[in-house]
Amino acid sequence: MKLTGVELRRISLPLVSPFRTSFGTETTRDALLVRVVTTEAEGWGECVAMAAPLYSSEYADAAADVLRRFFVPALASVDHLTAVDVTPTLQKFHGHRMAKAALETAVLDAELRAEGRPLARELGAVHTQVPCGVSVGIMNSTEELLDAVGNYLDEGYLRIKLKIQPGWDIDPVAAVRNRFGDDILLQVDANTAYTVADTRHLARLDPYNLLLIEQPLPEDDILGHAQLAQHLKTPICLDESITSAQTAAAAITLKACSIINIKPGRVGGYLESRRIHDLCQSHNIPVWCGGMLETGLGRAANLALAALPNFTLPGDTSASSRYYQTDITPPFTLTNGHLPVPTTPGIGIDPLEAELAEVTTHTEWLKL
């Protein structure tokens, strides 16, 4: 396969409701899509970077810039290109994993489409559908939160994740347990909002039998997580801290976490995600698939990954309607709390042309 052109497309999708986390409130999803054209087929990759560097240091304009200036030209010079060549070719460029992931996914999609092979089969999926959880934002009141959680449970979600921050943690968890009982699968995500000085406070979550607490401390604070883990009954799950199989191995060995959230964008792609999956499986560390408010393109690929055997906890692989009234692909809808794993070649879904055009804010064709 040889790369013959790349399209960078910016889209702006309104969210069904504002999504508040410890780092801010989002009302629209501004995303970057990568479409590669090769001698064999076309492929799509969604870059999960946010418009601003709030979740991590990456942001959409920077991803577009590094793709345009460095990554696409480097790949364009590879004669027999396949997806496994992308990471080695881009290795010399530091960071920008979300941009690398989008490009690798687009190349992988093109390659698999050309060969008629679905991504799920390529990655080693063992399920045809995956159990789904939902991430519930910080609300203005407990009543509002209980309403939202009740509606998601009615829709069939099998696990609830509450976003927490100092001032919105113990009470909302207690209220949800009190209203919906001890049987629902419940976990929390702090998106780095605490410090080790909050250890005694976070231990107050212990009585609520949470599945896990996700990323309580800053992404670089592996030592802090290891120390915190010694004082909490609630298992620690890392998200932002895990940027590669190498950092995953270190975090596991240092006992900084006992569960890992895998987000392909954060770790540089689906191939690195599979390595982390395999590593965790060999260490008896359960994994689950995170979410970055993906459109149907990213959601489809995440479902393939989430169908691997060590994805033993429900992921943030929610239905399209959790975030979007109208998606740029046919929507993924829940059946008994599960989403189907795509079965057609590549990522297994195509954008709807009219819907995509409607939300596109900018298109750039990179000639090679």
| 265 lines the binding site for ligand NPQ (CB under 6 A) | no
- Measured distance CA(298)–CA(302) in Å, rounded: 6
For the CA atoms of 272, 6, 352, 17, what is the dihedral angle to 10 degrees? 60
- Exposure class string for 283-322: b at 16+ Cβ within 10 A, else e: eebbbbbbbbbbbbbbbbbbbbbbbbebbebbbbbbbbeb
- Measured distance CA(264)–CA(273) in Å, rounded: 6
Q: With CB cut-offs between 5 and 8 Å by kind, which of ligand NPQ, Mg ion, none does residue 55 bind?
A: ligand NPQ
The amino acid at 33: L
How far are the Cα atoms of 155, 200, 227, 358 from residue 197, in angstroms, in the given order?
Answer: 38, 8, 11, 48
Q: Is 100 a catalytic residue?
A: no
Q: With CB cut-offs between 5 and 8 Å by kind, which of Mg ion, ligand NPQ, none does residue 293 bind?
A: ligand NPQ
Q: Is 255 a catalytic residue?
A: no
Q: Give 41 or 190: the residue with its C-beta nearer to Mg ion.
A: 190
| 315 lines the binding site for ligand NPQ (CB under 6 A) | no
| 292 lines the binding site for ligand NPQ (CB under 6 A) | yes
| 310 lines the binding site for ligand NPQ (CB under 6 A) | no
Q: Give 35 or 322: the residue with its C-beta nearer to ligand NPQ.
A: 322
Q: Give 160 or 205: the residue with its C-beta nearer to ligand NPQ.
A: 160
Q: Give 19 or 332: the residue with its C-beta nearer to ligand NPQ.
A: 19
Assign 176 to helix, strand or coil.
Answer: helix
- Measured distance CA(47)–CA(99) in Å, rounded: 6
Query: How many Å from the N-terminal Cα to the C-terminal Cα in the chain?
Result: 14
| 241 lines the binding site for ligand NPQ (CB under 6 A) | no
Residue 261, strand partner residues: 288
- How many residues contact ligand NPQ, by CB under 6 A? 15
**Helices and strands per DSSP (H, E), number in the chain:** 14, 13
| 221 lines the binding site for ligand NPQ (CB under 6 A) | no
Q: Which of 92, 100, 163, 233 is catalytic?
A: 163
Binding flags for Mg ion, 194-233, as an x/- string (CB under 5 A):
--------------------x-------------------
| 239 lines the binding site for Mg ion (CB under 5 A) | yes
Binding flags for ligand NPQ, 339-358, as an x/- string (CB under 6 A):
--------------------
Asked if 161 contacts 346 with a C-beta cutoff of 8 angstroms, the reply is: no
| 293 lines the binding site for ligand NPQ (CB under 6 A) | yes
Residue numbers at the binding site for ligand NPQ (CB under 6 A): 19, 21, 26, 29, 50, 55, 135, 189, 191, 239, 290-293, 316
